[in-house]
Amino acid sequence: MNWKIEILENHSGELGEAIPHEDHLFESEEYHYDQGQVLEVAVHESANDHWHIFTDLDSGHRFKIDPRKYRKV
């Protein structure tokens, strides 16, 4: 399932943090999304109250984000 989401406040994190630890290969690389940025994403987890997990279809990066920091467009 794919969605478009708008980032509501600046969001950054570490690449690989949304991948199980045994597959976590990118721990030193960081990503950043700016407020107002619209992303097309593949949805992996959207039921958790603390983190939703997506893959950014432009970059291919899998990331997690607090559901209060984005809205579905």
User: Structurally, how many domains does the chain consist of?
Assistant: 1
b vs e for 12-33, b when ≥16 Cβ sit within 10 Å of the residue's Cβ? eeebbbbbeeeeeeeeeeebeb
Lookup result for tokens 């976590």: 24
Q: Are 8 and 54 in contact (CB under 8 A)?
A: no
d(CA 61, CA 35): 18
Q: Residue 23 is part of a domain; what is its CATH number?
A: 2.30.30
pLDDT in tens, 12-61: 987 767 666 554 454 567 889 999 999 999 999 999 999 999 999 999 88
pTM of the complete model beyond 0.85: no
Q: What are phi and psi of 68, to 5 degrees?
A: -80, -10
d(CA 64, CA 67): 9
Q: Domain residues for 36?
A: 2-72
